[in-house]
Amino acid sequence: MTATTTPTGVSRKPQLLQGNESCVEGALDAGVRFFAGYPITPSTEIAEGMAARLPGLGGAFIQMEDEISGMAAVIGAAVGGMKALTATSGPGFSLKQENLGYAAMAEIPCVIVNVQRFGPSTGIPTAPSQGDVMQARWGTHGDHPVIVLTPSSVYETYYLTITAVDFSQKFRTPVILLLDEVVGHMREKVTLPARGRLMVEKQKFYDIEEYKPFDERSLPPLVPFGEGVYYHITGLMHDEHGFPTRDPDVTVRLMDRLHHKLNDHRQEIVMTDYSGHREPRVGIVAYGATARSARATLKQAHYQKRWPVGLLTLQTLWPFPAREVEALASRSDIILVPEMNMGQLVGEVERYSRGKAEVMGINRYDGEMITPEEILEQVKRWLT
């Protein structure tokens, strides 16, 4: 986990928390004081929690008329100087895409939580899925930058929510926290650090002479509207002052800067965890709730049977952990990619394996979780 999420001080008492409730705790501890959204299964507990807690902390909760306006309100609150978050699921996530693209272009810090459910369309609202992985990367149009984090436990949901808020502030970009129904609704015993004792990224607001909100040489803070510094915000291609431009050179510099500010901090943003055999014949790449099944498989295959199996768990999906996947491929004969979809991240794993290992997806798309036994069956196929 990143340094920005390191807890200090005395912890709170152990709690039995739902993943969605843990997300609320993380958001509040990270300083989020504004939520706008629309109720939708299986993310509604996040809205309910924020509605109950924010007023007592001097924050604001607004139930909007739809998901489009929810995203717009979050952008407005962020421009006004508040740490802002919204939560939704697949159908609502689709509606947020245009304004999400605006936030990426205008460099507005905000967090979008998507608790994935089975689709397309309204699908099965209470069934788990990992079908929004590619939408999280390419849902809005254009070559936009994006950070997407995904937890596999209630504990990780808390810390990755804080990390998402931190990243949004530090890099002035929307950050997507991609849960799934299993992680959102499951309950686990967690011990959270004491409130007010987290090393979170603080907003930096100060006046700058000749303020350039989109300075090509740096990443200036987003001074809140009404704080005495005036600037222009647009979704159009713009210069360092925020005014629209059609100059090809300015356009290229803007696009390069939007992507470089993430690529240059890849080591901080990309978070993974590897466990198992140092030189595995079978590698597994997993994320979200499916990583839980993969860990159970690893326990049986490697720690009990001593088979050469390794597991790479992804907490960051985008920017894609290309180096980590390539390193695993260089040590493995095959990489298994279990996903609750028809195959989305498996293509990226194959791409960045660069032919060094065979890649095979293990897919389930019936509204049920992939079991450890299903993964173990494929492991046995390659080792026995």
The enclosing domain of 235 has a CATH number of: 3.40.50.970
Nearest Cα to Cα of residue 226 among 76, 54, 60 = 76
Amino acid letter for position 241: H
Q: 383 or 230: which carries more pLDDT confidence?
A: 383
| 325 and 233 both lie in a single domain | no
How many structural domains comprise the chain?
A: 2
Peptide bond into 120 cis (omega under 30): yes
Describe the crossing of helices 19-29 and 154-171 by its angle, rounded to 10 degrees.
40
Its domain, for residue 347, covers: 273-383
Domain with 350 in it: what CATH number?
3.40.50.920
Q: What whole-number distance in Å separates Cα of residue 354 and Cα of residue 321?
A: 14
Are residues 292 and 197 located together in one domain of the fold?
no
The confidence score (pLDDT) of residue 208 equals: 62
* Main-chain dihedrals φ then ψ at residue 78, nearest 5 degrees: -65, -40
Of 269, 295, 318, the residue that ends a domain is 269
pLDDT band of residue 132 (cuts 50, 70, 90) is very high
Would the pLDDT of 217 be above 80?
no
Considering the chain, what percentage of its residues have pLDDT values greater than 90? 87
As a whole number of angstroms, the longest Cα–Cα distance in the chain is 70
- Which of 215, 239, 269 delimits the end of a domain? 269
* Burial (0-12, 13-18, 19+ Cβ within 10 Å), 334: buried
Task: Give the mean pLDDT of 337-366.
Answer: 98
Q: What pLDDT is stored for residue 5 in this prediction?
A: 43
The answer on 277 and 248 residing in a single domain is no
Q: How confident is the model at residue 200 (pLDDT cuts 50, 70, 90)?
A: low
Q: Report the alpha-carbon distance of residue 125 to residue 114 in Å, rounded.
A: 13
Whether residues 252 and 322 fall in one domain: no
**Residues 4 and 133 grouped into a single domain:** yes
| Alpha-helical segments (H) within 129-234 | 133-138, 154-171, 181-185
Say if residue 316 is in the same domain as residue 252: no
Instruction: Tell which wins on pLDDT, 341 or 12.
Output: 341
User: Token digits for 51?
Assistant: 């509605």
135, 195, 218, 350 from 170: Cα distances, Å: 24, 21, 12, 31
| pLDDT > 70? residue 202 | no
Do 245 and 299 sit in the same domain of this protein?
no
Last residue of a domain, one of 234, 269, 304: 269
Whether residues 292 and 336 share a domain: the answer is: yes
Residues 149 and 283 in one domain: no
